Structure 1
Amino acid sequence: MFVGVSGGLGLSTLAAMTAWTFTDMRMRCTIIDADFSGGGIDVLLGIEAESGMRFTDIKAPLGRLDGEALEHELLHWEGNGVLSVDPRKVRHPDWWEQQAALHALQEVNDIVVVDAGRGERIEEIALPQSAQIVVLAELSVLGLARAGVALSRGQLTASSGTALVIGVHPRALRARSERISVQDAQEYLGVPLIGEFSPIRRLGLSITQGFGIARIPKQYRYLLRSLTDALLAGEGASGDGPAAPLRQGTKAFDDRMRADPSPVDRQNSHPSDAAPGAGAVGAAEDIHG
């Protein structure tokens, strides 16, 4: 589950690129848009005109859904199923419908990526014990203060041990000297950061103009690989083993069992070709053009 302590940080974009990275690793992955107050990830991905079931179309009076049937009815983007909120409809899914959708899709996928926006009413989703929470925090004084408050609440740590934190630099900061460092952020929050990144103007324009995410930017690949590795290792889970156990007999499971787990390179968009030893995204240079 991806949670942003502030709006406009690029949380949905990060969640979508993480799902795309898992799919490139031959894992079956679906994205759930659980930001009911400000969602519409289908619009962000540029697939809003395609036919497919949205969250407000789900009816689960008995609290159960068939996973394969639901997956078949969803929108699809870059190999991922997408269960999006329809911002044009005011109906808020009932808690049992949210849980039924999550549990059904969990049964037929290796990974389920949940975009929870600011984390409002996330208790209704009833995350399983294997769930992990990824928190996106702005690397600013105000952003870190908000992140510190959010992390101090049991709501973001109850089901997953320690949340995985990623820092994003404010769009307004162009000079490196103006940045808050990862080290300072870690000392303030008291938790390690998976990495940091800066907004990319070209990607932002593509999304705001309705074209979606054409490819994963090269500058983000190392961060995404670090994040997916941490999630598969269960670094933010309360128990041992991977956060989302792979089902035996699936291609994803077979690939992970092989000695050479090298992922698929699709359109040069996978993080595996990042330079060895490269720092987290944004550490090499500030990307704003």
Structure 2
Amino acid sequence: MNSVTAEQPPALTLVSGHRLREEVRRIAAAADRQLAEHSMPIGRYAWTEAALVILDTAAAHECAAAGYPRRAGTVLVSEGEPGADQWEAAITGGAELVLGLPAAADRLIEVFAEPASAAEGGGAVVAVVGACGGAGASTLAGAIALTASAIRFRPGTILVDGDPFGGGLDLLLGIESEEGLRWPDLVVEDGRVAAATLREALPEAAPGLRVLACGRATPDTGPTEIGPGAVRAVLDAGRAAGDLVVCDISRERGPHADQMLDGADLVVLVATPRLRSIAAARATVAHVRRRNPNQALIVREPAPGGLHGDEVAEALGLPLLAAVRAHPGLSGQLERAGLTTPRGPLRTAAESVLSLLTGDDR
């Protein structure tokens, strides 16, 4: 993928035919416009936040079938004069312009040359999902956030609790007594929240790491309610500030969890090498893929049945980032003082996630 320039961010390109793709490349080069070439499926964030989208007939139908929202700046290209199929696809996919190439090359050059706003901030979002109860999704999410803050992966890191039934990430990190806002205290007006204000309002778990945790449930109040609009505002604020936002979804479902999946650059599934966990993970993979295809796998050992991490990854059809051995004494540490900057296998797993976000292992 080409790098993003401040003046003209790459145009998201979903073109499968070789000759048509080569023609789009030639025209983009003439317009001095970079392309971010992908194949379907792509994440919803990539779709909605791209400054310009160039797609062909097949991609237009696939985007519509996947439920991607209509958006401005969508152009459908065809090889030769567009016909009924192309116009139907344009209507289905919400394209604003239909161009037959190479005849309309000059018009596409004009489209490429039109000013476009680059995405702000350069922040990143990762969502951590558990395949089954006890897989360790919350622990991994905390480890990723602590590791990112320790190595200054981004200017700041925000750990977002997306599991109202999980007891609170502030407890996991041992900062339950620290002052600061939790989800029930956060009021988002006009769908926006200032990144600097959000940082200062949240409790600090480590230098550069802030935590947005769920409130403590009681028999009278029940679990925290998290609004999807507030989730989007928090993710947007983190991105605009250039931060890393780590979302712990665990096994939560619902509109707020869907918003976290939609907005993630990467979804990390945590599974154990047990048959029941693998069966649950298959359903989770299918659910997540409908919202975000960018998934990778962490396997938490031990393996009582002798299954290896690569066998679990093959069964799920996901790339394996790491197989994490059991951490002696971790449960006792979490009870006594909460999670601290991880070492050993847990640190390795966290670093593998951060490396994938930056593309270091590609």
Under a length normalisation based on structure 1, what TM-score does the superposition of the two structures give?
Answer: 0.72
Of 170, 180, 183, the match for 2:310: 183
Higher strand share: 2
Of 75, 85, 92, the match for 2:214: 85
SS at structure 2 position matched to 1:82: strand
* Counterpart-to-counterpart distance in 2, 1:123 and 1:226: 24
Shift, 1:159, TM fit = 5.0
CA contact (8 A) 2:183 2:215 kept: yes
| Larger CA Rg, structure 1 vs 2 | 2
Of 300, 305, 309, the match for 1:168: 300
Shift, 1:39, TM fit = 4.1
CA contact (8 A) 1:33 1:39 kept: no
Kindly provide the amino acid, as one letter, of the partner of residue 145 in structure 2: A
1:238-257 aligned at under 5 Å gives the runs none
Render the CA deviation track for 1:207-247: whole Å, top value 9, x for unaligned: 123x1123412233333222211122198xxxxx9xxxxxx
Aligned to 1:60: 188
CA contact (8 A) 2:129 2:269 kept: yes
Render the CA deviation track for 1:13-50: whole Å, top value 9, x for unaligned: 11111112212222221111111232400011110011
Kindly report the root-mean-square deviation, in angstroms, between the aligned alpha carbons of the 2 structures.
Answer: 2.3
Aligned to 2:150: 24
* Counterpart-to-counterpart distance in 1, 2:214 and 2:149: 22
Structure 1 vs Structure 2: percent identity of aligned residues? Answer: 25
SS at structure 2 position matched to 1:116: strand
Alignment of 1:195 onto 2:322: yes
Under a length normalisation based on structure 2, what TM-score does the superposition of the two structures give?
Answer: 0.58
CA contact (8 A) 1:30 1:111 kept: yes
* Counterpart-to-counterpart distance in 1, 2:214 and 2:331: 21
1:1-289 aligned at under 5 Å gives the runs 1-26=127-152, 27=154, 28-79=156-207, 80-88=209-217, 90=222, 91-121=224-254, 122-125=257-260, 127-128=262-263, 131-153=265-287, 156-170=288-302, 173=304, 178-209=305-336, 211-233=337-359
CA contact (8 A) 2:270 2:298 kept: yes
Kindly provide the amino acid, as one letter, of the partner of residue 138 in structure 1: T
* Counterpart-to-counterpart distance in 1, 2:332 and 2:326: 11
Q: How many residues align?
A: 227
* Counterpart-to-counterpart distance in 1, 2:167 and 2:235: 17
Which stretches in structure 1 are left out of the alignment for 5+ residues? Answer: 236-240, 242-289
* Counterpart-to-counterpart distance in 2, 1:74 and 1:127: 24
